[in-house]
Structure 1
Amino acid sequence: MTADDRFTAHLPYGEPLPTPQKSIVAWPNWPFNADGTVKPLERPVIPEPARKGVGGVDCHACDRPDDDFLWVDEDWRLSAFDSPGVPLLMLYPRRHCDFTDLGPRLLAAFGPIVHRVEAALLGLGGIARVQFDRWGDGGEHFHLWFHARPLGMTQLRGTALSTWDDVLPRLPEDVWRDARAEIAAAMAADGGTGRG
């Protein structure tokens, strides 16, 4: 196995992939029925339901200790997902806030920290592109997703990458463990504490 194929060597090319245990077709926000037809559009729900962690109460990000994160510094915490289909990270500000409430200091640091995370993922080798996105409909605490598309996997390009992550076989644990350690070390090289 080389650095270029360590995230793809385990994939069953040309074989049908099983439906994930938590099928995306069952997601309330998935726009298609199991047969591929478009679901009927539902009427707006106003007021909208509260997101998780409102005001920092029962917040999945705030309640976790630093030891649960791959890398931390005084302002940010980086989390690695267990058993993803593609390398998958999530960045949180340390304090509870939404994107609109980051404030001038965190906003000024936002571009550089996003660049650092992308550089750490690309530094793994075997990664062609890093996609990042912010949804924020489920939780109030701002979080940014990072999906790393393996080199040569052009079928996974674009917005479908986050869906492919739920469909692909999980990365081998040893491959993902080693990658997490490399990411933590790369992030810590420019400050903060790596915990990979």
Structure 2
Amino acid sequence: MSDHVENPYLAGLPFGQDLPAPEAASWDTFPLTGEMTVKRLEPPVLPEPPRHGEDGPESCNQCQRPDDSFVWTDEHWRLSALKEPDGLPATLLLFPRGHHDLADLPPERAAELGPLLQRVERAVKEIGGIGRVHVNRWGDGAAHLHLWLVARPEGLMQLRGSFLGLWGDLLPPLRAELGEANRKVIAAAMAEGGGTAHV
């Protein structure tokens, strides 16, 4: 672990000061308009608090979930939808079954990851009307590896790129029956290559 006192990335940061709006606020894909105030940068919290599930599988919500609460599962992986729908055709999370983060993912699982991401993308595109499927990974909230797969509706060019997740929060939630139909198509497409569909 690095010594936070000498962390060069913290030196000179404008903690507690006003910051200008980002250049991205002028992009056509930026979802907000009007006057905005950037939050002030808070001082670092060191040492960082533990993430959910940092203690191991016993304290991990994902490890405790039954398979039938997922869209699709197999021996090593599980694919989940959001608990509450957002405004996008599909927002999914891919988890290894074992309690691993990216850095300690066993080599066998790591070798499966690329082909599996391709497989999920193809399954998502089976629902139709999808322009792109974006893959993202953040790991600040939970220690159990989870990769986001987020579908952009075809033709909605304003939703391109890194703000897609934010657009998902801003748009009206997908109709429940459409979300359910999409999950069924995705689950069935995944199960064609092995594993079990749960919707």
* Common fold: TM-score over 0.5: yes
Residue 187 (str. 1) matches residue 190 (str. 2) = yes
Write out per-residue CA displacement over residues 108-141 of structure 1, whole angstroms, 9 at most, x where no aligned residue. Answer: 0000110011111112110000011000100000
Residue 148 (str. 1) matches residue 151 (str. 2) = yes
- Displacement of 1:43 after TM fit? 1.7
SS at match of 1:78: strand
The size of the alignment, in residue pairs, is 164
Q: Between Structure 1 and Structure 2, whose CA radius of gyration is higher?
A: 2
Name the structure, 1 or 2, with higher relative contact order (CA <8 Å, separation 6+): 1
Partner of 2:165 in structure 1?
162
SS at match of 1:57: helix
Partner of 1:176 in structure 2?
179
**Inter-partner Cα distance in structure 1 for 2:40 and 2:191:** 48
**Inter-partner Cα distance in structure 2 for 1:184 and 1:84:** 18
**Inter-partner Cα distance in structure 2 for 1:169 and 1:60:** 28
- Displacement of 1:160 after TM fit? 0.3
- Displacement of 1:57 after TM fit? 3.2
Residue 85 (str. 1) matches residue 64 (str. 2) = no
- Displacement of 1:42 after TM fit? 1.5
Equivalent position amino acid for 1:47 in 2: P
- Displacement of 1:89 after TM fit? 0.4
Output the aligned Cα RMSD. Answer: 1.5
What runs of 5+ residues in structure 1 fail to find an aligned partner? Answer: 1-31
Residue 64 (str. 1) matches residue 65 (str. 2) = yes
**Inter-partner Cα distance in structure 2 for 1:142 and 1:83:** 21
Partner of 2:24 in structure 1?
none
Give matches, 1:45-56, under 5 Å: 45-54=45-54, 55-56=56-57
**Inter-partner Cα distance in structure 2 for 1:61 and 1:153:** 33
Residue 111 (str. 1) matches residue 114 (str. 2) = yes
What runs of 5+ residues in structure 2 fail to find an aligned partner? Answer: 1-31
Equivalent position amino acid for 1:93 in 2: P
**Inter-partner Cα distance in structure 1 for 2:59 and 2:42:** 29
Equivalent position amino acid for 2:86 in 1: P
SS at match of 1:109: helix
Answer with 135-144 or 38-47: which moved more: 38-47
Quick one: percent identity of the two aligned structures?
Answer: 51
**Inter-partner Cα distance in structure 1 for 2:133 and 2:61:** 25
- Displacement of 1:45 after TM fit? 1.2
